[in-house]
Amino acid sequence: MINEEIKLDYDDILIVPQQSPVASRKLVDLTIERRFSHRSVTYRGVPIMAANMDGVGTMEMADALRKHGIFTCLTKFHSTEKLISFFSSDSKRSQYCAMTIGIGDDDWQRFATVDSSLGSDLTYACLDVANGYTDRFVKCVETFRSLYQDKVLIAGNVVTPEQTSRLLDAGADIVKVGIGGGSVCETRLKTGIGYPQFSAVLECADAAHSMGGKIVADGGCTRPGDVAKALAAGADFVMLGGMLAGHPEGGGSPVDRYFQSREVGHDGEPIMDKRQFVEFYGMSSKTANEKHFGGLKDYRSSEGRTVMLPLRPSLSDTIHDLLGGLRSACSYVGAEKLENLKDKAQFVRCTHTHNRIFEELSDSLHNRG
């Protein structure tokens, strides 16, 4: 069976500007409140989450992002000792950070150890698997919920309303939506599986909201405008990997690379420019499997890429650009608060090619400058 309805990615749409009472973007309030049915927790902050990926979901990143009111899902690969010390030394951290686990026995054990050492003070948990469609995963969400009733549970990933509802029924509070659209993801290439992300967000958000649940749009944002589109489509949060990678807070070791510049030295030879790069890789890549699991198992293929990103020295500059873009998007549609962006936004379909050509042009001009 083929679903012939058109499904869209972020590049396939734009948000239409409208008459706006917002005099200046600096007046736009980006802080939102999210309440979770049946949990006594309210999130107050910017609805952005750093992904639980190496180079992004680090403790240093979490502390830096918290200053901007941004949430972090820590990677699965922090030791119990480090997690206990991280969360116990500053009680505010548990309001802006989730401990992430998989669905193995050792994951449950680690979560129980950390949470009980903190006197049950962990507020958020992220139950993360590549494929949120297995019966085993749904059971795990149920088990988690029966063990921990007060925690806010982020669980996924899925891309369809039916499975979003199933995970919410099983006890998730925030469903992670996105398969195959990540910047260093190869699932679409290796398996043919996926779903255009903008449509996935629209459809899953509708399903979740009709049940009082929430979603986080996970993956595929490459520009601040994509984050605005995801929130305008109804995402309660947006998760970012690549857009936050490449900063010192991500913990990678910079590598020097030399490039021939356009300038020529006294000796007539071209001057070499030094630029620094950091490695960034998908959590299902060969690199991640080698780092954390002693290599790729013989029944798996690598479903992630490894890339070298130019080192971005200032996380604050990146966040400034991101939040500035969101403020501006709100002012274009007349939303005084980010909270109101979804209600105000209307979309227009455009050609993917137009958007891509525009981005490539703007990139090449930027790099030239």
Q: Residues with catalytic annotation? A: 185
Which residue lies nearer to ligand 5GP by CB, 237 or 332? Answer: 237
- Give the nearer residue to ligand 5GP in terms of CB position, either 171 or 220: 220
Which residue number, 157 or 331, has a Cβ lying nearer to ligand 5GP? Answer: 157
Q: Which residues, listed in sequence order, are joined to residue 124 by a DSSP beta bridge?
A: 98, 152
Question: To the nearest whole angstrom, how small is the minimum distance from the Cβ of residue 248 to ligand 5GP?
Answer: 18
Q: How far is the CB of 184 from ligand 5GP (least distance, A)?
A: 6
Give the tokens for residue 335.
Answer: 């939303």
Minimum gap (Å) between residue 280 Cβ and ligand 5GP: 8
What share of residues in the chain are helix, strand, coil (percent, to 5)? 40, 20, 40
Helices (H), 261-307: 286-293
- Smallest gap from residue 186 Cβ to ligand 5GP (A): 6
CB of 290 to ligand 5GP, least distance (A): 13
Instruction: State the DSSP code for 29.
Output: B
Q: Which is nearer to ligand 5GP, 69 or 219 (CB)?
A: 219
Helix 161-170 and helix 135-147: axis angle, to 10°?
A: 30
Report, in Å, the least distance between residue 226 CB and ligand 5GP: 9
- In whole angstroms, give the CA distance from residue 266 to residue 264: 7
Tokens representing 190 are 């290796």
Closer residue to ligand 5GP (CB): 51 or 122: 51
The C-alpha atoms of residue 12 and residue 202 are separated, in whole angstroms, by: 14
DSSP-derived pairing of the beta strands 32-35 and 42-45: antiparallel
- 3-state secondary structure at position 300: coil
Q: Which residues bind ligand 5GP (CB under 6 A)?
A: 51, 53, 130, 157, 178, 182-185, 187, 218-221, 239-243, 282-285, 303-304
Task: Pick between residue 28 and residue 200 the one whose CB is nearest to ligand 5GP.
Answer: 200
* Distance between CA atoms of residues 158 and 127, nearest Å: 12
- Strand (E) or helix (H) holding 217: strand 214-218
80's CB contacts (< 8 A; 6+ apart) are: 110, 113, 114, 117
CA 304 to chain CA mean position, Å:
16
In whole angstroms, what is the distance from residue 341 CA to residue 235 CA? 11
